[in-house]
């Protein structure tokens, strides 16, 4: 399977714990995005990378959230001191930016439940 992959697929944690999610984009894609989706809503943009550079962070991304893409390949999203409001589906997407319209392809998501 050459699509976007995410790990883990499900995570249950207790409030106050730290969690880390991983995303592996489609191999030739240079852009990688993180979104968050809560029940009944569409995905909301969190942040994106062009190669290894993080180019924008949404206001939704509090100081407890940090994302990296160290070698321009896979990315990690860490949430520190989790809160119950962090419970959501965290979606990763990737695209190939070569000028012109881009299409973002989504991974299967990581479903986080904070107890």
Partner 1 sequence: QKEVEQNSGPLSVPEGAIASLNCTYSDRGSQSFFWYRQYSGKSPELIMSIYSNGDKEDGRFTAQLNKASQYVSLLIRDSQPSDSATYLCAVNRDYKLSFGAGTTVTVRA
Residue ranges in contact with partner 1 by CB under 8 A: 31, 33, 35, 40-45, 48, 55-56, 89, 91, 93, 97, 101-109
Question: Residue 7 forms beta bridges with which residues?
Answer: 22
Beta carbon nearer to partner 1, 17 or 102:
102
- In sequence order, the 6+-apart residues with CB closer than 8 A to the CB of 39 are none
Residue 20 main-chain phi, psi, to 5 deg: -135, 135
Beta carbon nearer to partner 1, 2 or 14:
2
Beta carbon nearer to partner 1, 37 or 80:
37
* DSSP state for residue 99 in the 8-state scheme: S
């Amino acid at each position: 399977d050459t699509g976007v992959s995410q790990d883990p697929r499900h995570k249950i944690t207790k409030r106050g714990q730290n969690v880390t999610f991983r995303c592996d984009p489609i191999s030739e894609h240079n852009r990688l995005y993180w979104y968050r989706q809560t029940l009944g809503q569409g995905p909301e943009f969190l942040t994106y990378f062009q190669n290894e550079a993080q180019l924008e962070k949404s206001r939704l991304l509090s100081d407890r959230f940090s994302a990296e893409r160290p070698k321009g390949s896979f990315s990690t999203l860490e949430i520190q001191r989790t809160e119950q409001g962090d419970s959501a589906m965290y979606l990763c997407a990737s695209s190939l930016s070569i000028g012109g319209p881009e299409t973002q392809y989504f991974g299967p998501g990581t479903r986080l439940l904070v107890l």
